Amino acid sequence: MKEEEAIWMRHRKGVKNHVVDSSQPEADIERILREFIPRAYRRPVAEEQMIPFIKLAKDRLASGRTFEEAVRSGITAVLCSPQFLLLNSEPVVDDYAIASRMSYFLWSTMPDEELLQLAAEGKLKDPAVRQAQVERMIADPKIETFVNDFTGQWLDLYDLEFTTPDMRLYPEFDPLLLEAMKEETRLFF
């Protein structure tokens, strides 16, 4: 990565443009995409599924695009593919699908290494293992995203700020009380 000229940003000073380059662009394109695709798909990926993305990026590089542009085109294609975009589209629910469903439901993000390892070992079909993982996931700080989103939608906590009580009837109401009301509800949940 090479640092170039400074970029003007209103709220941040000293930000510089960076250019990503490589001394072995074709090998680096392949390495980057081979590491990225299984993470994006949340499962191991067969060689024949990776080849079109790698070929696309290498073709872009060969056509005169920069290394960074070539890698971006490969990654963009992966992120536009149905295997990345569509959760729960598999006709057969395997351990990787279970890991993704658990993770996106409870954490609103991709499975962590422990879930992926259990999926690789084929252990997530066991109800006791799933129960232990749910307990672990609930104890993790990432559960806050689920709590905020779920209570925000279910109990309309997102809309609480759009109404203002009459100050003559509720003189003690202030922004601190508003936040306390939302936090009490989340903590109770």
The DSSP result for 156-172, as a single string, is -GGGGGG----TTT-TT
At residue 9, the pLDDT reads: 65
Provide the pLDDT confidence category of residue 3 given band limits of 50, 70 and 90. Answer: low
Cβ neighbours for 82, distance < 8 A, ≥ 6 positions apart: 89
Enter the tokens of residue 164.
Answer: 């203002």
Domain ranges in the chain are 2-85, 95-140, 144-188
At residue 74, the pLDDT reads: 96
Q: Which residues pair with 149 in a beta bridge?
A: none
Burial class for 107, CB neighbours closer than 10 Å (0-12, 13-18, 19+): buried
Residue 17 · residue 5 · CB < 8 Å: yes
Output 41 or 158, whichever has higher pLDDT. 41
Rounded Cα distance between 145 and 178, Å, is: 19
Enter the tokens of residue 161.
Answer: 């700020």
Element (H, E) at 28: helix 25-41
Rounded Cα distance between 81 and 122, Å, is: 25
Angle at 38 between CA 78 and CA 36, to 5 degrees: 60
At residue 1, the pLDDT reads: 57
Q: How does pLDDT run across 111-161, given as a tens digit for each residue? A: 999 999 999 999 999 999 999 999 999 999 999 999 988 998 898 888 888
> Is 80 exceeded by the pLDDT of residue 168?
yes
Output 56 or 173, whichever has higher pLDDT. 56
